[in-house]
Each structure stands twice: as structure tokens, then as C-alpha cells.
């Protein structure tokens, strides 16, 4: 996502979804080809259910708001199939927020392309 408007809309959408389903959205950082989302989920919710809600609802709202994306993604798959998650119980929330806020997305993408790897992180 290169557009600032799309990034801002997606970030706000993640916050709305989190609030509606009892999650807490701490930090969202978006690069052009991936994002980092620091979220606390209720103990009764599985990680896969949280990801399904966040990715599914946000993609629906993005397609609804930015109608041109339907042409770009004709199969309706805005987000990649995969995701990565990690429990952060052994690290402070401040450390995670600092890590996410200070990501150098351009350098990360450059490094990954040099190694010929594709980063698919949610």
C-alpha cells in the first residue's frame, strides 16, 4: 500500500474492528507490502479467529471504500494468505511498540529482495 489515504483508512479500520470484538489495538505500522499490528486479544479468542476478523473485515471495507481495488485484486484477496504471530509475554509492551514504530520498511523490503525472499507478515 503506497497511498497514505489507504494506509490511514486501514489503520482506522483495524482499530474499529479491534474495539468491536474486544481486542485492543496498541500499534499499527504499515509498509508498502506488509504491516505490523500489535493487538491484545481476549483470552477466549483464538489467534486464527482474530486474524480472520481483522483481515476479512478490513479487506471488505477497503474494497468498499476504494472501488478501484476490485480491478487490481479481481479474486477479492486483498491480504496474503499467510500471517505471522508471536506471543509477547516475555517482553514489555513498550519494547514491542518501539520495535514496530521504528521499523525501516524500505530497508527491510530492500534486504528481502536482495535475498530473494518474500515477506508475508501480518
**Domain span including residue 49:** 4-114
Give the predicted TM-score (pTM) of the model.
0.72
Helices (H), 1-122: 4-20, 47-65, 69-72, 93-101, 105-114
Q: How many domains does the chain have?
A: 1
Q: Is residue 119 domain-resident? A: no
Residue 62 in any domain: the answer is yes
Average pLDDT of the chain? 79
Q: Is residue 122 part of a domain?
A: no
- Alpha-carbon distance 119 to 100, whole Å? 15
Q: Tell me how far apart the alpha carbons of residues 34 and 121 are, in angstroms, rounded to a whole number.
A: 6
Residue 46 has pLDDT above 60, yes or no: yes
Q: 68 and 79 in contact (C-beta within 8 Å)?
A: no
81-116 pLDDT, tens digit per residue, is 888 887 776 667 777 777 777 765 454 444 434 433
Flag whether 67 is in a domain.
yes
Beta strand residue intervals within 13-121, DSSP E: 24-30, 35-40
Residue 41 lies in a domain: yes
Beta bridge partners of 39: 25
Cell numbers found for residue 38: 500489535
Q: CATH number, domain at 47?
A: 3.30.70.1290
Give the residue carrying C-alpha cell 489503520. 11
**For residue 30, which phi and psi values (nearest 5 degrees)?**
-120, 130
Amino acid at each position: 500500500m503506497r497511498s497514505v489515504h489507504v494506509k490511514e483508512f486501514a489503520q482506522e479500520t483495524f482499530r474499529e474492528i479491534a474495539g468491536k470484538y474486544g481486542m485492543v489495538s496498541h500499534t499499527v505500522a504499515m509498509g508498502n507490502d506488509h504491516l505490523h499490528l500489535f493487538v491484545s486479544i481476549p483470552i477466549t479468542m483464538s489467534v486464527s479467529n482474530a486474524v480472520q476478523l481483522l483481515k476479512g473485515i478490513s479487506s471488505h471495507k477497503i474494497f468498499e471504500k476504494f472501488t478501484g481495488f476490485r480491478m487490481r485484486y479481481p479474486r477479492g484477496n486483498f491480504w496474503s494468505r499467510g500471517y505471522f504471530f508471536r506471543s509477547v509475554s516475555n517482553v514489555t509492551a513498550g519494547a514491542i511498540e518501539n520495535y514496530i514504530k521504528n521499523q525501516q520498511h524500505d530497508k527491510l523490503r530492500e534486504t528481502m529482495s536482495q535475498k530473494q525472499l518474500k515477506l508475508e507478515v501480518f
